[in-house]
Amino acid sequence: MADTHRSSEGPEGYDVHSAPIMGPFVAELLDAADLGPGDTVLDLACGTGFVAHAAAPLVGPAGRVFGADIDEGMIRVARDHHPRLYPDIAYTVAPADRLPYEAAVFDAVVCQQGAQFFPDLTAALTETARVTRPDGRFAATVWAPVERQPYFLAERRAIQEYGGPDTIRHFDKAFTCTAERLATALGAAGYRDIAHREVTFGIALPPLDTYAHDHLSALWGSLITAAGGAEALTRAAGLVRDELADHTAADATATLPFTAILVTATR
Ligand SMILES: C[S@@+](CC[C@H](N)C(=O)[O-])C[C@H]1O[C@@H](n2cnc3c(N)ncnc32)[C@H](O)[C@@H]1O
């Protein structure tokens, strides 16, 4: 099993319940990649295709959009659950360090919240450099430290209490990639003009009385249930709500800051 976010409801759960958190960052990532009409772009570690989907209208009918992810389930949902686009998106199951594309075919490679899961970051970025044309662009986001993200911090406490030691290790993986680590790997892979900045959005989450349970269940449900039974998931969701009570409105919605590190580079 890849060391990554897994979904107990399968990738369908990831697609529905991660969308409110992932969605706001997509436009910022694509803007940083400076996509234009006619570009050929790869969404690396595309998951269910949030970024690929938004890239299609930017590159237009003369452009091409590809998505690659190691997880067959993610690619299945990306292919089956989203509307056909023009240009249509070509999704492929592939690991980041062995991409099934010719050299120098992409004008840009984008990667939203995937780089922290690559077992060998430099090998993966060397591979993205291979498939990117000279002067092509790279843009990726990874999460800033969990301590600065109230929603994820609340989930972390819940997983620490109810998920067992293995689950917290998987959870923490999402927050372990620093800008420095990415910059070092990009340099080793042959990129230049490497830059980074933080991007923060105040995201209005759906009512937490259901969302706290649904998001935990989608990403960590099977592991929490394995550690403590079905009750553990209900208690874990309750803990998330309690932790965020001071930030929760009367209608149970909460608007919370989420911060990503956005790294850009030129091939
Ligand atoms: C948090 S999800 C992000 C998915 C998507 N980019 C998004 O914006 O929703 C991380 C993704 O990285 C993928 N992944 C993890 N390791 C990978 C690898 N070595 N090669 C390719 N994809 C990988 C996972 O399968 C998962 O879909």
Q: Are strands 132-143 and 254-266 parallel, antiparallel or unpaired?
A: antiparallel
pLDDT digits (tens, 9 = 90+) for 135-194: 999 999 999 999 999 999 999 999 999 998 889 999 999 999 999 999 999 999 999 999
Let me know if residue 28 belongs to a domain: yes
* CA–centroid distance, residue 74 to ligand 1 (Å): 8
Other Cβ atoms closer than 10 A to 31: 12
Let me know if residue 6 belongs to a domain: no
pLDDT score of 165: 83
* CA–centroid distance, residue 245 to ligand 1 (Å): 31
Let me know if residue 4 belongs to a domain: no
Atom of ligand 1 nearest to the CA of 4: 15
**Residue identifier of the C-alpha nearest atom 7 of ligand 1:** 47
* CA–centroid distance, residue 70 to ligand 1 (Å): 7
Let me know if residue 2 belongs to a domain: no
Residue closest to 89 by CA, chosen among 53, 140, 47, 132: 53
pLDDT score of 83: 65
Q: Which residues of the chain have pLDDT under 50?
A: 1-8
pLDDT score of 240: 97
Let me know if residue 112 belongs to a domain: yes
pLDDT score of 87: 67
Contacts of residue 76, defined as CB under 8 A and 6 or more positions apart, other chains included, come to 11
Residue closest to 92 by CA, chosen among 112, 81, 78: 78
DSSP-assigned letter for residue 121: H
pLDDT score of 52: 96
pLDDT score of 89: 93
Cα separation of 62 and 86, whole Å?
Answer: 9
pLDDT score of 8: 44
pLDDT score of 255: 97
**CATH of residue 24:** 3.40.50.150
Residue closest to 8 by CA, chosen among 216, 209, 165: 216
Let me know if residue 3 belongs to a domain: no
pLDDT score of 230: 87
pLDDT score of 5: 43
* CA–centroid distance, residue 248 to ligand 1 (Å): 30
Q: Provide the domain count of the chain.
A: 1
Question: Which amino acid belongs to residue 159?
Answer: I
Angle at alpha carbon of residue 97, lines to 91 and 99, rounded to 5°: 35
Residue 71 belongs to domain spanning: 11-266
Of 113, 125, 142, 262, best ligand 1 pocket probe by most atoms within 8 Å of the beta carbon: 113
pLDDT score of 164: 83
Let me know if residue 39 belongs to a domain: yes
Let me know if residue 139 belongs to a domain: yes
